Chains A and B, each alone.
Chain A
Amino acid sequence: MGRDDVLEGGPPTESPESPEPTPADHDRDEGAGELERTIGLVGGLAIGIGTMIGAGIFVFPGLAAQNAGPAASLSFAIGAVVALLVALPLSELATAMPRSGGGYFFISRGLGTGPGAVIGIGLWLGLVFAAAFYLVGLGSYAGQVFAEAGIALPVNPAVPLGVAFGVALTVLSVFGTENTASLQNAIVIVLLVILTLFLSYGSLDALGVFGTESTPERFLPPGGTMPVLQTAALVFTSYLGFAQVATVAGDITNPSRNLPLAMVGSVLVVGAFYVVTIFVATSAFGSARLGEFGETAMVEVARAFVGLPGAIAIVVAGLLATFSSANASILSASRAVYAVSRDDLLPESAGRLNLRYGTPHVALGMAGGPIVVLAATGQVELLAEVASVLHLVMYGLVCIALIRLRRESPEWYSPSFRCPAGFLVAGLGALTSLSLIAFMQPASIGVGAAVMIAAYAWYRYYATDVELKGAF
């Protein structure tokens, strides 16, 4: 046991006590340090649910019901199916490549630099659009606080408040070093409790248990299935969060079990909540009336059931949910910037950390800046759809990457979780994600396409010599 063994040991080929890779709780990169895995199944579920639940329940019900009537439930269910079809292939890829960057990393390694660059930059901006959308929702709920307090404001405060929250969240994530994981878990639990109570009461009421009159309405909207599909495309933003679990794949304990469970579980949980929410909301009011209430329609629904306390509970829940979604999206956007800059598709300085706070201040700024600008536009539907377009393209390519990697099965590809019926699920996942884009508004598709073209042009200009396929 000489000291020389310690200081001049050879490269860490493999640790002697575990010749084959075992699902350890940490990353054994002995050269420059290990990475501790600290997020368990509960933490993973909290990330997924916390990112998603803000939009589907607290922003979309009014808009969705206006477009599709009670059949908006079906639109949310369609979204859940698409998300599930993508979640399984994504889990497999994430256990094979547990790196921050999620979908971007898998696509750049599986399909090459070009698609990788488009998706990487697209993911960053997609999250920027999503975060801006959540911020406008957050602003609407913060504005509702004034309304509940009886303070009349000269202008609709949603957009200015959303912008203010955007600035505050960005600054907080650069300088705040408090660990907020437990806070996130607590927020999710409080939310689920409030929603479960509210939706149980609402469902019983709608089914006539309490004898209140509910609003009978034909299920499908006048336009038939078309509005349902268009609404499914609009509200798909409510499911973007499940993929965030994959972006922290490197931090998750026992990833072969916890990753798929967290992704699939969080989609199932929020999907169920969404479907029931629409059912309850459209039972309480007519769809047209719901649409008039706009982003804070759920507050009126709660008021109709249990009066002011219900309204206040939903305002609080809405604030928590949209806050947690916006925060998660800002952080994910900064991780996307880091992942792309690590691969030299953006200048290296974008991924810099400051030693004092240990936070990626440049990347956070590159996320927060455009988010604030976009939030200032206040275009809720456009922001949501562009975010969805950019994500859906990524989901489609993730599925294609899975199929390609399974076909080629390179030596480094050894996922610890394998998607059941992989080719079928991934094939359907790619098909459904990409088809859903067709039902978006033309403007959203246009903006999404412009972002991707710009991303590709940037790649041709800046990073043609980068080769990422299989670089792992």
Chain B
Amino acid sequence: MTDTDPTSATDAPTGTEADTATDTAADTPADTAADVDGDPSADQPDRPTVLYPIQVLEGESLPVGIADVLANAHVVLAGYHVIPEQTAADQAREQFGERAMAKLEEFAATLADAGATVDVHLVFTHEAQTTIDRLIYEHGSLAVLVPNGADALESVLLAVRGEVGLERNARLAAGLFASTDATLTLYHAIGGDETEAEGESLLDSTVTALVDRGVRPEAIDTILDRPDAPFDAIARHAADHDAVVMGETDPSVTTFVFGMPAEQIAERFLGPVFVVQRERPGEEQSAADHPDGDQSGEG
């Protein structure tokens, strides 16, 4: 956009104080230069891209131990601030932008010290869901993190739902945890008219996919059961583990990130939950190539 082009500032003979402030802000060596060495949508198998939404200005900070959990990830640290409609977005940015960015940089440094690569974004928005959804899409994020504190990372629960998300689940779990000492427990809840044999075979192919990606076979465990309420069961099993990886279930991503079931599970489980995103149409193409921009207006 034109107003972010730093070169245009040179047109101004004598910038006013306000303008100078804006321009300085735009010139601050801040972030996202991480993209320089590659297409952000191409998440390397060894470093899965994880979107970490964080409301910095609401006082949200990094929970204990999260940096270690994310050590092998490419983290898109998405700071966002929801502003009421009566406030112009650029007004909020002008007043809070630098402060929020400083906070984010601090968090990014912590994550980077633990080993992650970090890509920092700060967005002022009237609709948090639109923003998160866009960032997931733009960065080809494999998963969204629902952050919570974690103790020493010893075991991870991977909730397997079906063949559809298997590939991406495995990519995330292996990418994050293959090189750690953590054990991976695969859990599948049999439901409907699914037979036990089908459940077994699903778990087996997941194990194969993980081992193919470098997870030690002896670090993998499996659980198969037929619970009444699958999500309750995930939360129950999660209690024995330090982190959860689960798939996106609802057709609408946005409900998923903010409402049911992942957040509920995270609330009961009190540990970090990775919500693996289903593949988007056209994800292989340019990340800048947006779907219809009108959707956001019809709320």
A contact set with B: CB distance below 8 Å:
1-3, 5-13, 15-18, 21-44, 96-100, 173, 176-182, 185, 248, 250-251, 253-254, 258, 331, 334-335, 338, 342-344, 348, 351-353, 355, 357-360, 364, 410-412, 414, 466-468, 470-472
CB <8 Å contact, A7 and B112 = yes
Neighbouring A residues of B95 by C-beta, 8 Å: 351-353
* Residues in chain B near residue A8, CB distance under 8 A: 29, 33
Q: Is B182 part of the contact surface with A, judged by Cβ < 8 Å?
A: no
* Given contacts A359-B84, A410-B11, A250 and B117 within 8 Å (CB-CB): no
User: In the complex, which of the residues B5, B47, B123 has the most CB atoms of chain A within 10 Å of its own CB atom?
Assistant: B5
Contact A9 to B30, CB < 8 A, known contacts A97-B3, A251-B126, A335-B88: yes
Number of A-B contacts (CB under 8 A): 283
Bound-state CA distance A351–B18 (Å) is 11
A6:B118 contact, CB within 8 angstroms: yes
Is A37's CB under 8 angstroms from B122's CB? Answer: no
CB <8 Å contact, B122 and A15: no
**Inter-chain contacts of B100 with A (CB < 8 A):** 32-33
CA distance A248 to B3 in the complex (A): 15
Residue among A28, A34, A42, A251 with most chain B CB within 10 A: A34
User: Which residues of chain B (36-82) have a CB below 8 Å from chain A?
Assistant: 36-40, 47, 57, 74, 79, 81-82
Instruction: Report chain B residues within 8 Å CB of A15.
Output: 32, 35
Closest to B104 in A: A33
- Return chain B residues, CB-CB under 8 Å to A38: 125-127, 130, 296-297
Q: A5-B33, A6-B118 are contacts. A344–B18 as well, Cβ < 8 Å? A: yes
Task: Check B1 for interface membership: any CB of A closer than 8 A.
Answer: yes
Please tell me if the beta carbons of A32 and B98 are within 8 angstroms of each other in the complex. yes
Q: A250 vs B32: C-alpha distance in the bound complex, in angstroms?
A: 22
For residue B12, CB closer than 8 A to chain A, the reply is yes
> Contacts A41-B294, A181-B299 known; A5 to B3 CB distance under 8 Å?
no
Q: For A180, give its contact among B85, B113, B122 (CB under 8 Å).
A: B85
Cα A180 to Cα B121 in complex, Å, equals 27
Q: Please give the number of chain B residues whose Cβ is less than 8 angstroms from any Cβ of chain A in the complex.
A: 87
Asked whether B91 is an interface residue with its Cβ less than 8 Å from the other chain, the reply is yes
Q: Give CA–CA (A248, B83) in the complex, Å.
A: 14
Residues of B within 8 A of A471 (CB): 11-12, 15-16, 19
| Segment of B151-159, B234-242, B284-292 engaged in the interface with chain A | B284-292
Given contacts A6-B108, A35-B93, contact A42 B12 (CB under 8 A): no
Instruction: Note all chain B residues with C-beta closer than 8 A to A44.
Output: 297
Stretch at the interface among B20-28, B206-214, B248-256: B20-28
Residue in contact with B8 in the complex, picked from A42, A348, A412, CB distance below 8 Å: A412
Report Cα–Cα, A470/B37, bound state, in Å: 35
Q: Which residues of B contact A100 (CB under 8 A)?
A: 88-91
CB-CB under 8 A from B36, the residues of chain A are 5, 9, 16
